[in-house]
Amino acid sequence: MKMYVEGRWRERAQSIEVCNPYDGSIIDTVPRAGLTDVNAALRGAVRGAAAMAKTAGYDRYVMLRTAAQKMDQQQEDLARTISLEAGKTLAEARVEVSRAVQTIELSSEEAKRLGGEVLPLDGAPGAGSRLGLTLRVPCGVVVAITPFNFPLNLVCHKVGPALAAGNSVVLKPASDTPLIALRFVEILLESGIPPLAVACVTGSGGEIGKALCGDPRVRKVSFTGSRDVGGEICRTAGLKKVTMELGSNSPLVIMEDADLEKVAHATVASGYANAGQVCISAQRILVTNAVYEDYLQVLQPRVEEITVGDPLDESNRMGPMIRQRDAERVEQWVGEAVGSGARLLCGHQRNGAVYHPTILADVDPSARVSRDELFGPAVAVSRVSDIHEAVRLANDTNYGLSAAVFTQNIDHALLFAREVRSGNIHVNWGTVWRADLMPYGGLKESGMGKEGPKYAVEEMTELKTIIFH
């Protein structure tokens, strides 16, 4: 496919191969953008931002609503594209497309709701009859950098609110999964979005990311990816607005009064979805001594029955990881934990990029498989004595994106909710759950700012205060 820069679909002499993670076959190629392309994209985006700022909110609503309708009509084709380039099962890909449609629908509604407030200046001494009000205005040019694991919905969570707020947006999708992003840009253009209001630049983040984020024409950067890359972007961006969603090593706490069947179901749903490549994937399972072995006995057969293989085969419940080297990394971390005394209950087989669902028990909380972000289909189970130790271990991390507790004790639930430093807290479900309308983002080194169309629009606009004297 071609990339879309400054109102035109463009090719380049150098290209990037987009491969199927399952069998390594080449699906398509995309241009390898350079600094000239970055400059052209931003040059067009400046003009696009001016055009979008003059576009009525209702008109932006109509454009985005039309895009959502077109996506809905093309759900199966979009899902197949996701499955081919990201390695998701078709079932997972269909869910992502359905959510992406909702995200654009929600964004379209927010285009009609940008407003300010009348300020109660008569409550200020000496204000007299002055009238004050606020206006919410677009930032201008937004750069959106998106990851491979939700290559359509996370694009929609950035591009949809940016356009709804009256900005232009330059999209840099993950190099592994650019095809679905380019398909989405096609749909936006077919839906009436001004040609210069959106650009999609394909290439290595290491080559073009710094130029995009550091350019003074950009007012807002929205990034989802690793903590280390996010830190580098913040240093490069300088005096810009930034939203950073940077991952986690999410804890799932199981108290002695938990329904273990429900917990096991939630562990599978939270720990192995998308081959564990979810930033809020359940990674650290902290279980009280009273139910520790019982939980493992209920969980193990559920994990062992997860079928793994070709994501286009409807009978499989889990596909490959995005790259073989990522599967090799997970294999190495699990091997280190076993070598340090952890008990391997199942899994730990690898075929290329396919890494089988794995359970580790008796894991030292200081082990890398528990301490760092694994981003793969394995869970590390550790013992805790009570809710207080569970909270302490849940907080013993630089991350803070999602955390969960299973308990019927309201005091334990409230203690967990109040004291665990995490942007999302779940009671009686796993760490992987997100309604696309809710505020979503992390604390600590899991990032800053919130996504969810309503909240992202606030991040992608600026407030002006107007005083009539």
How far does Cα 153 stand from its chain's mean position? 8
- Alpha carbon distance 243, 222 (integer Å): 5
- Alpha carbon distance 284, 292 (integer Å): 14
Residue 381 and residue 403 in contact, taking contact as beta carbons nearer than 8 Å: no
Q: Which are the contacts of 42, defined by CB distance < 8 A and separation ≥ 6?
A: 141, 170, 212, 215, 217, 218
Which residues on neighbouring strands pair with residue 448, listed in sequence order? Answer: 244
Which residues on neighbouring strands pair with residue 381, listed in sequence order? Answer: 285
Which residues on neighbouring strands pair with residue 29, listed in sequence order? Answer: 17
If you search the block for the tokens 């191969």, which residue do you land on? 17
- Alpha carbon distance 194, 192 (integer Å): 6
Among candidates 141, 70, 146, 147, which has minimal Cα distance to 104?
70
Return the HEC string of 370-433: HHCCCCCCEEEEEEECCHHHHHHHHHCCCCCCEEEEECCCHHHHHHHHHHCCCCEEEECCCCCC
Using left for φ > 0, alpha for ψ between -120 and 50, and beta otherwise, residue 107 falls in alpha
Residue 331: C-alpha distances to residues 68, 131, 338, 377, 461 (Å): 40, 64, 11, 10, 44
- Residue 468 gets which letter from DSSP? E
Question: Which of 92, 96, 105, 245 is an active site residue?
Answer: 245
Known catalytic membership, residue 279: yes
- Residue 343 gets which letter from DSSP? E
For the record, the structure tokens of 292 come out as 């520790």
Question: Which of 279, 373, 445, 451 is an active site residue?
Answer: 279
- Alpha carbon distance 273, 149 (integer Å): 11
Among candidates 255, 280, 260, 307, which has minimal Cα distance to 416?
255
- Residue 341 gets which letter from DSSP? T
Is residue 341 classed exposed, middle or buried when 0-12, 13-18 and 19+ CB atoms within 10 A define those classes? Answer: exposed
Among candidates 136, 161, 59, which has minimal Cα distance to 453?
161
Side chain identity at residue 454, one-letter code? K
Residue 414 and residue 317 in contact, taking contact as beta carbons nearer than 8 Å: no
User: CA dihedral in degrees (98, 99, 100, 103; nearest 10)?
Assistant: 130
Please list the active-site residues. 245, 279
